Amino acid sequence: MTQGINQSRRNLFSRRKTHVIRPPWSKPEHSFTDNCTRCDKCIDACETKIIKRGAGGFPEIDFSQDECTFCKQCVEVCPEPVFDTSTEGPWPLVANINDTCLTAKGVWCQSCKDACEPRAISFIMAVGQVPKPQIDLAACTACGACVSPCPSDAINLNSG
């Protein structure tokens, strides 16, 4: 019984949230949260205002309103060692379309394709069915532009 209570207390103070998306070029979670002072400079610098104050005051990405333009303003304004621009890409994310997509219900919708500037989303035609979305992971930048226009919240970004 005591062990369960101690585990609950540890979880209460845990900084780790595996589903959180940190700003682009962020170092791994523990390194990020160990060094981030929660000064909000990255939040203020974000040109599309997708960086929000999350749990514990740490910055998180919220694609519900806009996309990431990879402008690096968050990286440049931060005085702490929480970013690493030597990595190949800004983050290890990929877009994923789940079963709540309107096309799974036979509804013609291509809002995600229209929002995708690199044209990473295409639609596959099939006889007697509405076209189904397909993501070209090599072309997808994981900018999140496809997330907010989706009327059924069927698109999310996950670690690849």
pLDDT band at 18 (very low <50, low <70, confident <90, very high): low
At 37-46, the pLDDT tens digits run 999 999 999 9
Half-sphere exposure of 124 (CA within 13 A, CB side): 7
Whether pLDDT at 7 is above 50: no
- What is the average pLDDT value for the chain, to the nearest integer? 90
Whether pLDDT at 11 is above 70: no
Whether pLDDT at 14 is above 70: no
pTM summary value: 0.83
Beta pairing partners, 60? 52
At 65-92, the pLDDT tens digits run 999 999 999 999 999 999 999 988 899 9
Whether pLDDT at 2 is above 90: no
Sign of CA dihedral 15, 50, 36, 93: positive
Sign of CA dihedral 35, 41, 42, 43: positive
CA distances, 74 to each of 16, 34, 54, 67, 69 (Å): 21, 18, 16, 14, 11
